Structure 1
């Protein structure tokens, strides 16, 4: 009897000891939502939120995670309904592509997220759903998207037809190795802005560009003025939308689309841009900025920079002509906003120790525009596909039975 009592007592104590863990497991793997009878668990929401934190997504991460997982169920169900699948090779390629954004190989990325409590399956599911949805969109809408040569010509502003010009607002935030983490977090927050007013306020508060005095607003710019890699990014924006943070030399930039329109233009692609960069020691300290403003007021042309640098180190001044694709992106962005003999002081060197005094000397036109046709074609196609995809996802959501627990 005593032996039986000890056994009963041990079992009772074990049951009591396991009860909190069991309840936790039940809660963790319980439903956070159902989507057409497909369950989204609390564990998935927790994992996705942790994943978003690691890739520096901002906002209410738990709320975003739940909303995105609900959409993922809709996307997966849509893929299943038309037989879209992702094989192992496609999945591995997608994971490799995503990990490369962090300059990591897939095993390194998996190890990094695992150290922060994110399971590899969370990463795999995230990538797999993206690939499935891409397949759904292409299968349903690819045939509807026909981009004509005339549309590409119009976007490029060639053959005397209508060209595209864009109305942007900008925020250029200086960055140094010491401030990199804080600036990245700030730029990520700005990229989530949804209103013109909030973007304007952020520009006044944080931007180093002269446009901050105008709420970050730029004048109309021909699309072809922008650096080639940036053109597709800008083309995909709708009015009010904001780019992800863009890496520049000594700065991070964020742009907001305010307008896009077609205008009659002459055929004038740019073969080369001549510009000068004078590196002023001191970075963005008040003395260096004051010196830059003094120089700006005392020179008229790029040749005058030689006089400014007279007696100084030769490497401090470079005046050269380059093809647009050869110009560093940050410098190219500043040059896009400048007319001949105008100046920008928004950028610094990578370590923040030098202020870059950038002066536009001149542009040389060419008739060869083939280098950007493929970019514009892909941007126009993706923009149209994204529009179809957004509409289809809204339709799926409207037709679904979704219950938040």
Structure 2
């Protein structure tokens, strides 16, 4: 849940600085609303674009910068809206739904993290002129996108033991969860199939942007807003505080060796040319890991067993366990994970990162002795039970667990960028921007 909570907290902090949607809208405004983009079988309206532009301008001003001209900002914001809409469409097509129970729990978490009750939290939003219902729906969308990315990106990431060995051998000094880095980032993107001329042009542009960053006539965040094609461009390229495990592979080694305030050389990757600034470095402590002892039953869909029927079979098995049938007996008889089925579904003790992310997320939030609701991973449908947890101190295991997470998170950053690029390239998008948009 950590990634979702981080998204939600960031959304809250931004929302508290942004005006409410439609707060000054008149009947004429509604009448004049029009389509500014067609995204597959959906549309983006001018009111949505202008609302988001107002949000981004206020966010940029809150950092002490002046927003770039609309000729720069409008295409950036439009592209973000398009990418968000495509992801929400894909999530809906895959049956990803955030129900009101999960949404209410997320809202409670946001309120709790801000040290207030949900009613008080709602009062605060309303007092700030924020449409509470629209805020809720934004959070629902962010949660759906987060689930989609876990399915489309995280579940495809594989980490081999050899990769772990290689990382420990080459970067043992960097495998240190006690250190966090505050990073800002600019990406000059390259399209798939770029020609040598395209690559040279992008490289020259990146070198020019780097010179501007070194000369400091414009702040790095201003350059990111106006020049970067990265996902965090409109946040000034700010990637936030990240452990070594969360620093993208392409510039991980640079960041570890940089001093605060340094701007990196131009760095090449499949997605384009990167420029990184190390904003800060801080220490932390982590000496022990939490191990989990769990068991599960897996039902995998097949050509004759639909996805829905697989889930229903697990619900039936869960009811039988609640009525007194032994978990281990049902696992031996029904689980498609034949390795663990022979042990009554027992997975033994696992370290963080040993299990696939979707499975680990469920058991991390499951109290010992409780049977989960059916949930899905790339292997099929599961029910799981946590038998026990323990704090375990093992330097070697800890280092390997850290190395595994470093590799997984680095791959996640790269894979997400490429996946979003493919999603955009493979989709039908028709932009209908003209000079009437936001004073252009």
Under a length normalisation based on structure 1, what TM-score does the superposition of the two structures give?
A: 0.44
Under a length normalisation based on structure 2, what TM-score does the superposition of the two structures give?
A: 0.41
Q: Which has the larger radius of gyration?
A: 1
